[in-house]
A and B are shown apart, each in its own frame.
Chain A
Amino acid sequence: MAFLTEDQFTALQLLLKAPSKDAVRQICTESYPAGASKSQSIAEKTANALSVSNSEAMQLLTAFHMLSHHVVYQNLTSPEQILPIFPESFHSNLKNLITKIILENSVTWRNEALSSQISLPKLVDLEWRVDMKTASDSLSRMAVPTCLLQMKLQDTPCISGGPSESTVTMELSKETLDTMIDGLGRIRDQLSAVARK
């Protein structure tokens, strides 16, 4: 992520016009999500709160968005790591306030980034049921247990659009279930081996 340009730091100083520290905090947290810097409604809200034009508000939001994402990306965790990013001429109190706000939120933002990264559809729910088959067209009397498994998967696109949910239901015989548990047990053993290293 590129460092901010001078213009962008200038835009950040528009925050000096905020009526209170909480207002600054709110603008900062609203500008973090992807797409926020392009959202008209957030830009308007910000423009009203700071009594600046829409385009200036947009610049401010973009600047803060880049700054906060840079901090999260590089995993900067202390003020000493963040303060040097600002130019010498930057308003000192505002610099400290912005740094404080970013640090307050960085853990939350980092966890959000981890949970919304690119991945295969995620397993969100699991249900099972064990049935007993008592008859079929090939055997008029039988007592065969069988397991039904339903998994709910959620696919959250990273870029745009809402999450899409899909359900898959499957039937497992006793042998299949035993084999599956064997396989899962092997995964567990490998995971503990990796964790031990």
Chain B
Amino acid sequence: MLQLHFTNDTLPDNVSTDFQNLNKLSEQQFVRLTEILYQFLLEPKESERFLRQLTEFAGENGMSAGPLRALMKSVLLLPHGALKRNLTAEQVKADLLSLGLNEDKARHFSDQWRIHYPVLSRLAVGQTLMVNQLVDMEWKFGVTVGTSELQKTGNIFLQLKLVIRKGNTTENVYMELTLPQFYNFLHEMERAKASMDCFS
């Protein structure tokens, strides 16, 4: 049984075969394919572009698109698992070698991993669950000139609109603060920030 860093599950046989099939590619082809793969990892929403690039690659290199796509599906398992487990480039290279990829290609892939890892992990953090995330804040402040009870006043008011993401939709929350409340709010937020800064 293969001891791999990126997963504890038993991999289906075809995954190992797929990685070994990568050895058949020339250096240039492997570099291009790796580039396409990392582009997709860095922009996971661009799945159509990813498939299109694979189809083009297949056409240019005399391969069929279907098997190539299946192969890439297997290959993707490694970076996904590696990201989840915060693997280093050395560990990624070790896994590739265990799966049967040759030395040069394994080194290239893990070098790319080292280069792109900071951005990929930031992306993963960004995808982490957030409850009622605050996405935007708008404000206006002004002076109340008069009301039905008081002909002339000169009160300063501050109005805030907070936009909160709830699932797929956003909700607007409107509120009004007096000046003392505003200063208190700012003070509390600075305290929260100081607390957060302790941890980073």
Q: Pick the contact of B175: A69, A110, A122 (CB < 8 A).
A: A122
Specify which chain A residues have a CB less than 8 angstroms from the CB of B70 in the assembled complex. none
B189/A181 in contact, CB under 8 A:
yes
A121/B176 in contact, CB under 8 A:
yes
B interface footprint on A58-73 (CB within 8 Å = 1, 0 otherwise): 0000000000010011
On chain A, the number of residues with a Cβ less than 8 Å from chain B's Cβ atoms is: 56
Question: A191 on the interface (CB 8 Å rule)?
Answer: yes
Interface residues of A in 126-182 (CB under 8 A from B): 126, 128, 130, 132-133, 136-147, 149, 151, 153, 168-174, 176-181
B200/A181 in contact, CB under 8 A:
no
| Contact-residue bracket for chain B | 35 or more
B150/A123 in contact, CB under 8 A:
no
Shortest Cβ-Cβ A-B pairs, 3 listed? A113-B149, A120-B176, A136-B128
A interface footprint on B125-157 (CB within 8 Å = 1, 0 otherwise): 101111111110101010010010111110111
Interface residues of A in 88-128 (CB under 8 A from B): 110, 113-114, 117-123, 126, 128
Q: How far is the CB of A116 from chain B (nearest CB, A)?
A: 8
A139/B200 in contact, CB under 8 A:
no
B193/A126 in contact, CB under 8 A:
no
Specify which chain B residues have a CB less than 8 angstroms from the CB of A110 in the assembled complex. 150
B159/A174 in contact, CB under 8 A:
no
Specify which chain A residues have a CB less than 8 angstroms from the CB of B141 in the assembled complex. 187, 190-191
